[in-house]
Every structure is written in C-alpha cells, then in structure tokens.
Amino acid sequence: MAEALALESRRVGAATVLFGPRGGKYPDGNSVLVRGREESLLIDPSLGLLARRGALPQVDHALLSHCHEDHLAGLFLFPDAACHVHEADRIGLQSLDGMLAIYGFAEPVEAPWRRALVEQFHYAPRRDARGFAGERVFELGGGVRVRAIPAPGHTRGHCVLLIEPDGALYLGDIDLSSFGPYYGDAWSCLEDFEKSLAFVRGIEARTWITFHHIGVIDDRAAFLARLDRYAAVIRDREDRLLAYLAEPHTIAEVAAHRFVYRPGDPVAFADPVERRSMAQHIERLCAQGRVKEVEPGRYVAPGRS
C-alpha cells in the first residue's frame, strides 16, 4: 500500500505533483515536476522519489525552495541537473558543515543529526549549486516558467514558487499543516515568517501546492481558511507561553514544558527547536512589555499570577 501511495501523481497544467508516501508526511514530501517545451525543472526532490527511481525522467534543473534535509533527499538522483537555491541558503549545499550551520544544533544533538543527514537523507554537497538573490524566473519554453519568490522565515532563503501561466503556487514549507509554522533553527525567524504568511495571501494564484500533507488545494477560500488556521498556531503558542509565565521560568524550563512539540514526542532535536522558537516569542514579548526579565535568564508575564 505504501508503494502505491508513493507512486500517485496529479497534473496541474504544466506541473505534475509527485506525491510522497503517506500524503507527504515528514520525512517524505511532495515533489513537483514542471515541463516546458524546451526544458524541465524539478522542485524539491524528496525521499518519495526513491520509489520512482526506475521511472524518473531526466531533468534540466533541480530547484530547492530552501535548504532542508527533506527537500534535497532525492537530489542525488539528478547529478547532471543544474541545481538552484536562494543565495541565502546556498551554504547548505556547499558542505555538510554549512548545512549544519543552518540548523545550529549543538551537542549532543549535532553528531547524530550529522549522521542522519548522510545516512537517511542522502546528503552530498553540490558545490556547483547556483544561488540567486531576489526573484528568479526560470523560462522552460512555450510560455511555461517558474518564478522563485523569496518568502523567508522558515529559513533565510525560503522561497515560494509560482508556476506560470497556470497560476499554481508551490508553498514549500508554508505547509498549512496542523503542526503550524516551524521557526526553530538558527537561521529561522518568527517575524519574517509572519510577514511571509501575509505576503503569500496576496499572491494571485488558482492552485496551491504544499510539500507536506495537503498536496493540492484548488479553491481560494479553502486555501485562505487553511492559511488562517496555520497562522493561528503562532498566536496559540504565544498565548500558552504567557499563561505559563504567570510564574517566573527560565528558557530551559520553557523548552522542557513544550510549546511546539507535544510532551513526550520522540523528536531528537525537540529541545533546541523549543529553545530557539520560544526565545523569539519571549524576546518579542519583552519588547512589547508583556514579559519582563526578573533576574538574568528568568522571565515572567506581569499581572498573570
């Protein structure tokens, strides 16, 4: 059954969505193949492509929405394709150390994560990767083009990709999932993520494609409803944090309480992700006067007790 799911696909104009196993649930994802009259381009080669390796076409370009393990796990299948990523994330393709810098994990998480990148996600440097800054348009022939549009926050170089003329917007890791936005790496930024969520709302499109879970949305009202629920996860985390800070707590205690992951979730990097995510909330709340540092490294929400 998993094999059958891995081979499902759907045409959206010039694009074909190559669904990953289990609906693209992490660590798998939904890759997108775009064919023009002259060239072809593959967006975010995922682990799910390994199940298709006997039937994969040659592609001229491999384009990463950003540099994360699950979005490049199938890149090794296309050694001859020109590889592209936003310049801000290109360091992740230059070396394994560069890739690890994006996450910013310290020991004891870094060493096993380094192994997982190679053994589970097939990481290999692509020093030939071409970076771009600002918007970049890939002309594939016959009026088919892919427009890379910066939408940072998840990573510094995260982009959404508009497939024209069909008006299909690939959202990358603005995945509209119930988990909500992920901004837990060293190179993630909560406020940039929020700006990107507001930005993508205004992009004119007819179809929306996510890397994880949902896959394809054909109705704008449904897209906006999912986007609103997705963004609301940020507010929910912040509200729960304020309630928790009715009593003073350290960042370590906040991380152990779990606001991003559920307590007990078997996620090896949960602690650094919680620290990075919630530290950004605390910094913002301190600037707003809604939280204060009562002693070095210890925070409280005044009036919550």
pLDDT digits (tens, 9 = 90+) for 118-143: 999 999 999 999 999 999 999 999 99
Rounded Cα distance, 60 and 83, in Å: 9
Predicted confidence band of residue 160 (pLDDT cuts 50, 70, 90) = very high
pLDDT mean over 96-113: 97
In the chain, what are the domain boundaries? 2-230, 235-296
Fold of 2-230: Metallo-beta-lactamase; Chain A (3.60.15)
pLDDT-derived band at 236, boundaries 50, 70, 90: very high
**Eight-class DSSP state of 139:** E
The per-residue b/e assignment along 33-55, b for 16 or more CB within 10 angstroms, e otherwise, is bbbbeebbbbbbbbbbbbbbeee
Helix (H) or strand (E) holding 140: strand 136-141
Through-space distance between the first and last CA atoms of the chain, rounded to whole angstroms = 52
Q: How far apart are CA 253 and CA 224, in angstroms?
A: 35
- DSSP character at residue 196: H
Does 304 score more than 80 pLDDT? no
Share of the chain above pLDDT 70, in %: 97
Region 158-187: mean pLDDT is 97
The 10s digit of each residue's pLDDT in 23-57 is: 789 999 999 999 999 999 999 999 999 999 888 99
Is 244 within 8 Å of 195 (Cβ atoms)? no
Q: What is the pLDDT of residue 23?
A: 78
| Mean pLDDT computed over 154-171 | 98
Query: How much is the mean pLDDT over the chain?
Result: 95
Between helix 110-119 and helix 96-103 the angle, nearest 10°, is 120
pLDDT tier at 284 (50, 70, 90 boundaries)?
A: very high
For residue 21, pLDDT beyond 50: yes
Please give the backbone phi and psi of residue 153, each rounded to the nearest 5 degrees, phi first.
Answer: 135, -55
